[in-house]
Chains A and B, each alone.
Chain A
Amino acid sequence: MEQIIFIILSVLAVVGALAVIFSSNAVYSVLFLVLTFFAIAGHFILLNAQFLAIVNIIVYAGAIMVLFLFVIMLLNLNKDSEAPTPALARIAGAIAAGLLMVTIVGAFKGLSQGSDVALRGGEIGTVSRLGQVLFSDFLLPFEISSVLFLSAMIGAVMLGKKNLKDS
């Protein structure tokens, strides 16, 4: 049962990812990316990491993708304005990406652990468990990440201003 779900979710994720890079309209790309993220969230649930699954949907599929859509809409980029990539570059890119994948898989091969991998984790992915770790061992990085957000916010506002001298 789980294996079937795994295969379905994997196919969804890979198809979605391919559609992201091959669709000519940027809005479609965003929507396919959302699909991929949902599939990955499904994988998280399969791994019994409920908290990450929720966060993935809220932050990635929700907030970030909406941001992408906003930008595309604001800049009016939804029509196909991209110059076609030369065939040679496409082939070279495909070869490079394929090579990379082969290399990564080859590099991981030594790590192969056999069959019964998943779901040994039990309860570690629950909100309470992660919360305990986050607010004990990782309290300082957690607090510092708030500073990161603040600076990101200020940076985005500064960059987004039309003319700094006018303000």
Chain B
Amino acid sequence: MENLFSNTLDGYLFLASLLFAIGVLGILIRRNIIIIFMCVELMLSAVNLLLTAFSVHHNDPNGQVFVFFIMAVAAAEITIGLAILVMIYRNTGSVSIDSLKKLKW
């Protein structure tokens, strides 16, 4: 437990879990799609951080290469996501996820 607040692997584990949980919390309590999007980015960053920590821990550059690819994919994802967001706003006049309720019986 004493390692949780230090720059040890346990510390990074705890920090990443916390950031990830905050991201999940944001997704669950917010209605604005843009904020939800940002929370997704936050969760991705938490994972990136953890991957890097493990990469350093194992002295293996592959983990960092993965982080690099995650960033690349995230950039592409954000581009498309925001474009879809713009389309949603044009069609519904709102960016609340409650406006997207047609996906049901």
Given A14-B19, A85-B30, A108-B13, the answer on whether A155 and B83 have CB atoms closer than 8 Å is yes
- Chain A's nearest CB lies how many Å from the CB of B83? 4
- Decide if the interface of chain B is mainly helix, strand, loop or mixed: helix
Residue of B whose beta carbon sits closest to that of A94: B25
User: Is B96 a contact partner of A49 (Cβ separation < 8 A)?
Assistant: no
State the CA gap A82–B39 with chains docked (Å).
16
CB contacts (< 8 Å) of B64 on chain A: these are 49, 51-52, 124-125, 130
User: Is A21 a contact partner of B29 (Cβ separation < 8 A)?
Assistant: yes
User: Is B35 a contact partner of A141 (Cβ separation < 8 A)?
Assistant: no
User: Is A104 a contact partner of B17 (Cβ separation < 8 A)?
Assistant: yes
State the CA gap A100–B43 with chains docked (Å).
13
Q: Kindly count the residue-residue contacts between A and B in the assembled complex, taking CB atoms under 8 Å apart.
A: 257
State the CA gap A82–B74 with chains docked (Å).
26
User: Is A77 a contact partner of B34 (Cβ separation < 8 A)?
Assistant: yes
Given A71-B86, A74-B86, A115-B3, the answer on whether A20 and B56 have CB atoms closer than 8 Å is no
Given A36-B45, A104-B17, A160-B86, the answer on whether A133 and B26 have CB atoms closer than 8 Å is no
Residue in contact with B9 in the complex, picked from A92, A98, A113, CB distance below 8 Å: A113
Total A residues in contact with B, Cβ cutoff 8 Å: 89
State the CA gap A33–B35 with chains docked (Å).
10
Residue of A whose beta carbon sits closest to that of B25: A97
State the CA gap A14–B18 with chains docked (Å).
8
Q: List 26 A-B contacts (CB under 8 A).
A: A13-B15, A20-B26, A21-B25, A21-B26, A21-B30, A43-B49, A49-B56, A56-B48, A56-B71, A81-B94, A83-B31, A85-B31, A97-B21, A100-B20, A101-B20, A104-B17, A104-B20, A117-B8, A117-B56, A118-B53, A125-B56, A130-B68, A149-B76, A156-B79, A160-B86, A162-B90
- B→A interface (CB under 8 Å): 3, 5-15, 17-26, 28-32, 34-35, 37-39, 41-42, 45, 48-49, 52-53, 55-57, 59-62, 64-65, 67-69, 71-80, 82-87, 89-90, 94-96, 98
